[in-house]
């Protein structure tokens, strides 16, 4: 279930005429978190200065936890993996193999600034009123350029979420799931294809780069 309290004309997110294609990159090997943040910050500065095109970067991280600007120290229950404080919005979450992370760097001066909420799915198999998170969203803006983004649970080790209070949610009716856990036997490539198709419908054309191209 997506919380959609505001009516939204998605066409207003599209790049204006002459805006150029968004670069689309996929990293095959897990990317260390601090390396990813440094690369994003450099690219955001270049986008804001009109020295580089917008970018969507798809990757996986090694197992780790991150804490956003609303994070609470008590939400880390078991420090089994490294934890990084980060400037994105939101609270604590887990990143690791089997999770598709999409870092989205768009120039919102040329688009429509809007911040979406978390993504949940109903779990009738658990009973009425139960929902699980299948993704988490954490965004930051710098000079009106977005970075960080969304993480989608494709087939991660869901037990790793037990070491934190995911996104500050303590109500036992709300848990964490994955696409495979929901009965969808999809691969990371399947998810990447679906993401690209949906992205182009809303934001416009993308231009692929080699998997290991530098940001």
Strand partners, 136: 151
Cα–Cα distances in Å, from 98 out to 154, 156, 170, 202?
A: 6, 4, 24, 26
Question: Residues 162, 128, 125, 152: what is their CA dihedral angle, to the nearest 10 degrees?
Answer: -50
Q: Which of 26, 136, 167, 215 is catalytic?
A: 167
Rounded distance between C-alpha atoms, residue 100 and residue 188, angstroms:
7
CB atoms under 10 Å from CB of 160, counted, come to 21
CA angle at residue 69 from 86 to 139, to 5 degrees?
Answer: 70
The answer to whether 167 is a known catalytic residue is yes
Enumerate the active-site residues.
167
């Amino acid at each position: 279930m997506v919380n959609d309290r505001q009516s939204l004309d998605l066409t207003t997110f599209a790049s204006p005429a002459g805006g150029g294609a968004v670069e689309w990159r996929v990293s095959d090997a897990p990317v260390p978190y601090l390396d990813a943040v440094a690369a994003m910050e450099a690219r955001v500065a270049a986008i804001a200065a009109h020295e580089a095109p917008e970018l969507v970067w798809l990757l996986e991280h090694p197992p780790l936890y991150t804490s956003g600007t609303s994070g609470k120290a008590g939400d880390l229950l078991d420090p089994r993996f490294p934890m990084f404080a980060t400037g994105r919005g939101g609270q604590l979450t887990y990143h690791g193999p089997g999770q598709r992370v999409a870092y989205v760097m768009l120039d919102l001066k040329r688009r429509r600034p809007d911040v979406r909420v978390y993504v949940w799915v109903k779990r009738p198999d658990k009973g009425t009123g139960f929902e699980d998170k299948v993704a988490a969203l954490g965004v930051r803006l710098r000079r009106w350029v977005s970075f960080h983004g969304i993480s989608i649970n494709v087939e991660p080790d869901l037990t790793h979420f037990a070491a934190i209070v995911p996104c500050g949610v303590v109500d036992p009716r709300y848990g964490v799931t994955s696409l495979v856990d929901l009965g969808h036997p999809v691969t990371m490539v399947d998810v990447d294809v679906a993401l690209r198709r949906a992205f182009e419908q809303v934001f416009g054309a993308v231009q692929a780069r080699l998997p290991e191209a530098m940001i």
